[in-house]
Structure 1
């Protein structure tokens, strides 16, 4: 197989989730389900494994509410921004990405926290921007219902505009530290956003000076039309889920075109589909591992979760029948629209029963699962890269830590032999890992323009 014409190499992010992405991973003898969600030493060790493979970044998902059925799999987690701060102290180069909601946060506080992590880590912070669906979460914040899908994305766009203004409120050379003159900073280079919009009113400059990356890498993960428009305008990396090469290619072409339409270079938007690799010395061994995990799924728990996603009652989903014919359309869904459509399309396309669909979703909640040898996993990644379906991948080990160790030790050497992945880190910041420039300060640009 040969690489395509695009510059650079694969971007690889490790999506770290408790005992692994397969919902039954906690039942394996090797897992420690009573400790991983809040065991910072365990999370630090996972980050160090990923860094030993020279991966671009690690990522922690998050939501401000306990959504998982605690009877189904390990639940509960630490605030990921605090986790990233603890990991920053035991790693040196790997990027640190966390999810934070624009629906249930304020721009000033969140911009300050991410700028702080960027300083603490030496320029390795990334923000996965989400709008957060779910009526249960809304009720955690005093709302009777979740805000409508379009309204959440409208708020997210303004949230990002405010955050960018805050991160630019200090120019890079604002701090003078001139002891002789008694001048610590040039006050003319610190700017108040003075933002007054539909959703936010933010007056003052950030308390945090401009960080090593200027602002964190902006990641986005929604694949609805509203999500893709937001990504095209603001995102520098996009986490997405696809089951087929054709769907991934269509998404890739669409998002790159949307980015170009708003005046951005499409190459500055890196698209990373999720993949759940199950690795074995032989294909038979890998498939046996996958079967072992699938057989540990508790059907009634999984059916309840599927029913919640489909906005149905569990009794409406007999395990050995296909999905009902009269499901809601995507337009009627106010939550995770793109994931809803992916799940329904998968079931319809392959004629899956509810029991079979539960098995297919158990590994990665709609992300592509792939069982094979290290060579076959490398082939699968390269095929999508060569076919312009991906710029890289969100690696989602089915079982942790073993799945991450196998990917680092067995798959990465093959990708390196093919010239598809780095041997050593070439930069120190997350933006450098992704091949992206440090953003210029808008106030500095304006001043330069005034003197031309």
Structure 2
């Protein structure tokens, strides 16, 4: 497998776009069906030769959405959506989120292996622990699982899923008409896992795909999250607001790989990148300003409170700095630390902070010309801060079209990004070997 570095680009799908007020924009296609909107976006990304599309998920309605009715909630379940998108596309990878906190390993292994078959080897599982405390009450649990316990469960969950995927040897399926043998029973293995959280016999009742089994993605940036990614993931998604933080994170995660007998190229680090692109700086800033004016204060505070770790910020002075908060045990500790540091470093008021969160959720954000955005992507890629990016357009589909038409050609001209797909599976797009 070649170890030559190539820039990776994913599209992070999210409703009408990543700005929380994107659905209120006068040009947003409010009356188009959910599926039609996503089909259009994914086809644009495939035309742009993106590695994959990525779809996040949660298993509850955010209480802040319920309270106000002003913010858009989640619209659709990822695996159902991605399976349908597989039939409308040919090359682009399909990465969906499924939490280890409120699922069972056999279900997840079976569903993602099925998506992998449907898509001819383009599936990826984004392994996450749950940060939305409200999910617990949908699964016969009153209190959300504490942070450390969530990761201990996730580690064992991953081991079971991988074991189930590997319960079929790649050459187990024979389909030998003359001998009357569909598969070789000696190449199908029981798992017989018995651990602290799970007891799973196996084997899986879904056969391998063209790429063997799905790619594993991890999206946690806490200490436990980084360790889990170094041990298990092929790709790690992360939120980093500036180059120095991203570079430190990149070096940290890569340095953890040798203890798991892995090389740096075997884990791709993809920070999120919120983008608003236009032919002039003034035009790009004007696009962003239109969206920022559409943010309701109640929505901004609700979203910020959720991202900080499920805190109620109602009544906080939005024109003052962020008040000191206890370390969250129900939310993402890494995201809480990122946003607190961002607020302190840049002296942001609560309102300015929720405007940042409403756009990029604390991710690196670029609002400007195609050349400026391409320059930053190249700099991060060449200076040890990223192997690629999870692109987060402010609006869909228009913001994505702008990126594909204006930024991607510059990256291709600089020979940083492919002009054609070299393979058909997600592993081929990333150069990922089977474990």
- TM beyond 0.5: yes
Aligned residues: 429
Give SS of 1:396's match.
strand
Match of residue 9 from structure 2: 12
Structure 1 distance, partners of 2:199, 2:360, is 39
Residue 164 of structure 1, CA deviation = 1.0
Of the three residues 229, 232, 242, the one matched with 2:230 is 232
Residue 73 of structure 1, CA deviation = 2.3
Residue 316 of structure 1, CA deviation = 4.7
Structure 2 distance, partners of 1:78, 1:134, is 17
Equivalent positions of 1:29-68 (< 5 A) are 29-33=26-30, 35=32, 39-67=34-62
* Superposition RMSD in Å: 1.4
Is the contact made by 2:133 and 2:330 (CA closer than 8 Å) also made in structure 1?
no
Output the TM-score relative to the length of structure 2: 0.96
Match of residue 116 from structure 1: 114
Structure 2 distance, partners of 1:392, 1:117, is 24
Residue 312 of structure 1, CA deviation = 4.1
Instruction: Work out whether 1:131 is the aligned partner of 2:126.
Output: no
Larger deviation, residues 368-377 vs 24-33: 24-33
Instruction: Work out whether 1:338 is the aligned partner of 2:334.
Output: yes
Equivalent positions of 1:90-109 (< 5 A) are 90-109=88-107
Match of residue 173 from structure 1: 171
Give SS of 2:94's match.
strand
Q: Render the CA deviation track for 1:296-315: whole Å, top value 9, x for unaligned.
A: 11112211332344454434
Of the three residues 385, 390, 396, the one matched with 1:394 is 390
Match of residue 423 from structure 1: 419
Is the contact made by 2:174 and 2:181 (CA closer than 8 Å) also made in structure 1?
yes
Structure 2 distance, partners of 1:273, 1:76, is 22
Is the contact made by 2:172 and 2:188 (CA closer than 8 Å) also made in structure 1?
yes
Is the contact made by 2:57 and 2:74 (CA closer than 8 Å) also made in structure 1?
no
Structure 2 distance, partners of 1:322, 1:260, is 41
Residue 150 of structure 1, CA deviation = 1.0
Instruction: Work out whether 1:367 is the aligned partner of 2:363.
Output: yes
Structure 2 distance, partners of 1:228, 1:33, is 38
Structure 1 distance, partners of 2:300, 2:132, is 18
Instruction: Work out whether 1:82 is the aligned partner of 2:77.
Output: no
Residue 399 of structure 1, CA deviation = 0.5
Structure 2 distance, partners of 1:315, 1:12, is 37
Instruction: Work out whether 1:318 is the aligned partner of 2:317.
Output: yes
Residue 334 of structure 1, CA deviation = 3.3
Of the three residues 402, 405, 410, the one matched with 2:406 is 410
Larger deviation, residues 49-58 vs 259-268: 259-268
Give SS of 1:158's match.
helix
Structure 2 distance, partners of 1:86, 1:313, is 38
Residue 176 of structure 1, CA deviation = 2.2
Match of residue 160 from structure 1: 158
Residue 34 of structure 1, CA deviation = 5.2
Residue 293 of structure 1, CA deviation = 1.1
Give SS of 1:12's match.
strand
Structure 1 distance, partners of 2:87, 2:41, is 14
What stretches of structure 1 of length at least 5 have no aligned partner?
1-5, 440-452
Is the contact made by 1:128 and 1:218 (CA closer than 8 Å) also made in structure 2?
yes
| Distance 1:375-1:171 versus aligned 2 partners, 3 A rule | same
Equivalent positions of 1:205-284 (< 5 A) are 205-284=203-282
Structure 1 distance, partners of 2:298, 2:364, is 23
Of the three residues 136, 139, 146, the one matched with 1:148 is 146
Structure 2 distance, partners of 1:315, 1:125, is 41
Is the contact made by 1:12 and 1:395 (CA closer than 8 Å) also made in structure 2?
yes
Q: Render the CA deviation track for 1:320-342: whole Å, top value 9, x for unaligned.
A: 11112x321x3x43311101111
Is the contact made by 1:65 and 1:140 (CA closer than 8 Å) also made in structure 2?
yes
Give SS of 2:406's match.
helix
Q: Render the CA deviation track for 1:1-46: whole Å, top value 9, x for unaligned.
A: xxxxx8222100000111000011111111133555xx21221111
Is the contact made by 1:279 and 1:373 (CA closer than 8 Å) also made in structure 2?
yes
Q: Render the CA deviation track for 1:263-306: whole Å, top value 9, x for unaligned.
A: 11111100000011111110111111111111111112211332
Structure 2 distance, partners of 1:368, 1:273, is 8
Give SS of 1:96's match.
strand
Residue 438 of structure 1, CA deviation = 3.6
Residue 184 of structure 1, CA deviation = 2.2
Q: Render the CA deviation track for 1:210-257: whole Å, top value 9, x for unaligned.
A: 222222110011100000000000011111011111100000000000
Residue 168 of structure 1, CA deviation = 1.0
Residue 380 of structure 1, CA deviation = 1.1
| Distance 1:416-1:183 versus aligned 2 partners, 3 A rule | same
